[in-house]
Amino acid sequence: MLNNATNRSPLTRPARTGASIAVLIASILIAGYGAAQTFSTFSGSVFDSTNRVVPQITVVLTNTQSEAKYSIKSDRNGRFEFVGLPPGDYTFEASAPGFATLKGKMAVAGRDVQRDLALEVGSLEETITVRASASEPSEPRPRRVASPKAGQPPAAPACGTTTVGGNIKPPVKLVDVRPEFPENLRAAGASGVVTLNALIGVDGKIRELDVASAPHPGFASSAEEAVRQWEFSPTYLNCQAIDVKMKVTANFQIQQ
């Protein structure tokens, strides 16, 4: 303070402006550094279509930028929680036997994310092969075959009152009908694959049936006629009979 050589004149306007800008830049950098260190939580519960919680469901979270993967299972109350997630875009998947894989996207930007996941029962898949000789007509054979369990279909499961779900009892095929190889297509040496989408009702019978793809109408008609006669035991979710989707693939093959 006693140094007479010290310049005690006020700061000029350009100097004050420069100092303010420097302070502002420093504040922005500090705020950006703090934001970069912010981690988030992704949590929720897993339910089935009867609105009951589902334990032991595997949930996988993937950061789309870094491709880092995080995996966890829901607890006995259906709860899951990911902690310490850096900001970014993520995809998630939830899967369990008997259920369709649930997929989705979300963004994490410094705030905790809470989202419940609702699972749907998966679809069945049936593949059948129909063979015919290129040189000889197909021999007549029984097409409608009853399963040994047809006379005694599985009984409905016995259940009590519970909030825990995810209990699936799959159907059992009771009546099987084989498609016929169309004679005109056999003589022409044609082959191909027919894909059908079906819906099995609560009584185990085919309620809906659509042809998704077919190389020839004759193949489609033969496969459709046969599948419409299939019968199953009911599908149960938490002791409740439900409709279930089914994909049928029919391979028509020519043997030389």
Question: 130 and 82, same structural domain?
Answer: no
pLDDT confidence bin for 252, thresholds 50/70/90:
very high
Residue 46 domain boundaries: 40-118
What number of H helices and E strands is found in the chain? 3, 18
Through-space distance between the first and last CA atoms of the chain, rounded to whole angstroms: 110
Question: 132 and 251, same structural domain?
Answer: yes
Q: What is the pTM of this model?
A: 0.74
Question: 197 and 133, same structural domain?
Answer: yes
Question: 199 and 114, same structural domain?
Answer: no
Asked if the model's pLDDT at residue 154 lies above 90, the reply is no
Asked if the model's pLDDT at residue 12 lies above 80, the reply is no
Percentage above 70 pLDDT, the chain: 77
Tokens matching residue 154: 């599985």
Looking at per-residue confidence, does 243 or 14 come out higher? Answer: 243
Q: Mean of the pLDDT values across residues 29-42? A: 64
194-213, pLDDT tens digit by residue? 999 999 999 999 999 999 99
pLDDT confidence bin for 34, thresholds 50/70/90:
very low
Question: 133 and 114, same structural domain?
Answer: no
pLDDT of residue 137: 75
pLDDT of residue 212: 97
H or E element: which one contains 216?
Answer: none
Question: 83 and 178, same structural domain?
Answer: no
Question: 50 and 173, same structural domain?
Answer: no
CA separation for the pair 142, 60 (Å, rounded): 48
CA separation for the pair 78, 94 (Å, rounded): 12
Q: What is the dihedral of CA 230, 232, 237, 238, to 10 degrees?
A: 170
φ, ψ for residue 35, nearest 5 deg = -65, -35
Is there a contact between 45 and 78 (Cβ–Cβ < 8 Å)?
Answer: yes
CATH for 108 = 2.60.40.10
**In this structure, is residue 188 part of a structural domain?**
yes
Mean pLDDT over all residues of the chain?
86
**In this structure, is residue 195 part of a structural domain?**
yes
φ, ψ for residue 56, nearest 5 deg = 60, 35
Is there a contact between 117 and 46 (Cβ–Cβ < 8 Å)?
Answer: yes
Q: How many domains does the chain have?
A: 2
CATH for 216 = 3.30.2420.10
Question: 236 and 147, same structural domain?
Answer: yes
